[in-house]
Every structure is written in structure tokens, then in C-alpha cells.
Structure 1
Amino acid sequence: MSDLIQHLTDTTFTGAVARGVTVVDFWAPWCAPCRELAPITETLAAEFTGKIAFAKLNVDDFTPLSEQYDVLSMPTLVIFKDGEAIDRIVGALPIDELRARIEQAL
């Protein structure tokens, strides 16, 4: 994992999504599609450096937060803008589709 993607906890979550656009990857280590998505989010995090922040939240470790945002399937990417969830992407989509959805938040 590079330093382009922040690992969130229940204490860092609110601050991390409070300002600007942040893409949060709700994931679990045992989830194969989550592992497939990881290099894609790394690539997008590098592309959007300075424009969009990327973060991950392990749903096994922080279940109440995943429940708060109705994460029922993984991976789920929730796009936040100034603290408000504005979009969600469920499943491991191709990079071009993810890029287009994320760009809409700018």
C-alpha cells in the first residue's frame, strides 16, 4: 500500500472526509474483488493527487461505520464531498468506468 491511500479508523474517518472530495474504499482482507480493486484505486489515487483524496476502511475492524453508510456488498466505494456521501460504486468496475464516476464529483 502506498502513502497515497490513507487507512481510516473510527476516530479518523470524519476528519478525513470533511473537506473536499474523498473516495473511501470499504473493503475486507478476505474479499477477492477488494484485492482486485486495490491496484486500480492506487492508480487512480496517483492520477487524482491534489484533487481527490483516497482512503480505505476495513469493514471487519469498523463494522458500525460500514453499517452507517449501508455498505452491504464489497467492495463499495463511497464518494464524499465536504463530508456528505454523494455517490457510491458497488463492485470492482473497470478503471475507465471508475475514473468517469469519480471525475463527476469534481
Structure 2
Amino acid sequence: MSAATSITAMLVQSLSVFLGIYLAMIFIRILLSWFPNVDWSNPAISALTQMTDPYLGLFRSIIPPIGGLDLSAMLATFALWILFDFVSAASNNVAAAFVY
């Protein structure tokens, strides 16, 4: 195994882990939006909002909220899920290539 292939495998695996964590953060952000008593000034929740809102904002500009229901969050989650699946599959293929 060469250094370039091991670096590639490490980068692909790291991207897969990052996307999985970010996807979980998006889910938590969406779930928190359903509760009216959430303290958005809480430092942890504020940090979560600051990290996820730029990505969600891209989709909010495409699909505005309809009757209080934010469908853009579902589209953003779906797009991130597809990317996560693609990167995870690539990560598994790269890892399998090292076995042989």
C-alpha cells in the first residue's frame, strides 16, 4: 500500500465520519425546532444553530416555509443523506481495495 492510497483512504473515511456527524447535527436541529420552549440562547444550542443554519439556509432560499412547515430542512437532509451514502460506499470500496 502506497502512502498516497493510505492518505486517500484516510481522507475518504474522515469525510464519511464528518458527514455522519453533521447529519446527526441537522437531525437534532430539526427536532429542536419542533419544541416551542427551547432556549435558543443556550450556548450549546446556539453553537448547533450557527453550524447548521448556513447549510439549511441554502435550501430555504429554494423552498420557503409553507404554513410554518419548513420543507427545505427535509430536502437538505435528503441531499446530505445521499452524499453520506455515496461517500460511505466509496469509503468501503477504498477499504476493500486494501484487503486484496
In the superposition, the TM-score normalised over structure 2's length comes to 0.26
- Normalized per residue, which structure has more strand? 1
- Normalized per residue, which structure has more helix? 2
In the superposition, the TM-score normalised over structure 1's length comes to 0.25
